[in-house]
Amino acid sequence: MASAIETVLSGMVDMHCHSGPSPFPRQFNHAEAARDAYERLQMKAIVVKSHHHNTVMDVLSMEPQLRDVPTKVFGGIALNGMVGGLNPWAVQMCLQMGGKVVWFPTFSSGRHIDCHPEHAGFPTPTVNLTVEKTVVSRDGELVPEVGPVLDQIAEADAVLNGGHMYPEDIALVFAAAKERGISRMVVSHPDFVIGADPEQCRQYIEMGAFIEHEMHMYDPEAGMKWPIENLYNWISALGPEHTVLSSDFGQLGLPKPVDAFLRVCGALLDLGLPERDLQLMVRGNPSHLLNI
């Protein structure tokens, strides 16, 4: 019989799963992640993310393994140096092949390099990641490559994620995206690497964005960067209607996404978070973003 928290989370969506393959060590591949997600929480969908490559091709290659798994698996592309940075042709291929999310530079962003110049806190990659791909020119304007990338996202009605960029750069990109009619936007872990405070996040929300918080930052089994009360306060400050909860797990040696969701979301309920608010953040909002 399912526990109370398993019942609440049943049918949820994880928009930030780091399963493999990847140059970083992973504890399972995308098909194994989807199977675990379905067997334990009947997840509706997961989005698999790599900082290095377009994950859509990985998912397509695993179709035989996914055929009997009801959980949908979606891929996307992170615009780091390994794919040519702000590369509209790479974005076009990803989205036309079924990709759902485009992450602006993560490991190749200036902000990430500032925080982790020697990959501190991250596994040593098999390829060099510290190739900065800026989105803003010296005069403070978006570089020309941003526009064609946003056009591809708008045409596909895909999700634009701010990556690991500086808060002000995310704001510039989101403003340009809104002008192009992009309505599905996300800021991941604003208080990790990015350094966006609640007031800046309110500005993103006014542009139509959702603020994504990760189990990775709050799970005690992963070393817990911050107490669960911090996450509860973020939700209270910005509202569950503007918040998405994802795992950011799949790395070798760390908890599985399902285990982290059970622990962290259970702790949120213990603090008094209503079940309907939790379901909105793990089911309703991500389903809207993925248009499923």
Tell me how far apart the alpha carbons of residues 275 and 288 are, in angstroms, rounded to a whole number. Answer: 19
Residue 71, class by beta-carbon neighbours within 10 Å (0-12 exposed, 13-18 middle, 19+ buried)? buried
Measure the N-to-C terminal CA separation of the chain; round to a whole number of Å: 28
CATH class belonging to 4-290: alpha beta
Of 52, 49, 47, 60, whose CA–CA distance to 23 is shortest?
Answer: 52
Per-residue HEC secondary structure of the chain comes to CCCHHHHHHCCCEEEEECCECCCCCECCEHHHHHHHHHHHHCCCEEEECCCCCCCHHHHHHCHHHHCCCCCEEECEEECCHHHCCCCHHHHHHHHHCCCCEEECCCCCCHHHHHHCCCCCCCCCCCCCCCCCCCCECCCCCECCCHHHHHHHHHHHCCEEECCCCCHHHHHHHHHHHHHCCCCCEEEECHHHHHCCCHHHHHHHHHCCEEEEEEHHHCCHHHCCCCCHHHHHHHHHHHCHHHEEEECCECECCCCCHHHHHHHHHHHHHHCCCCHHHHHHHHHHHHHHHHCC
**Sequential pLDDT tens for the chain (292 residues):** 678 899 999 999 999 999 999 988 999 999 999 999 999 999 999 999 999 999 999 999 999 999 999 999 999 999 999 999 999 999 999 999 999 999 999 988 877 777 766 554 566 555 555 566 789 988 889 999 999 999 999 999 999 999 999 999 999 999 999 999 999 999 999 999 999 999 999 999 999 999 999 999 999 999 878 999 999 999 999 999 999 999 999 999 999 999 999 999 999 999 999 999 999 999 999 999 999 9
Residue spans per domain, the chain: 4-290
Tell me how far apart the alpha carbons of residues 170 and 33 are, in angstroms, rounded to a whole number. Answer: 30
Of 201, 207, 283, whose CA–CA distance to 239 is shortest?
Answer: 201
Q: Are 231 and 274 in contact (CB under 8 A)?
A: no
Residue 274 CB neighbour total at 10 angstroms: 11
**pLDDT for position 223:** 82
**pLDDT for position 108:** 81
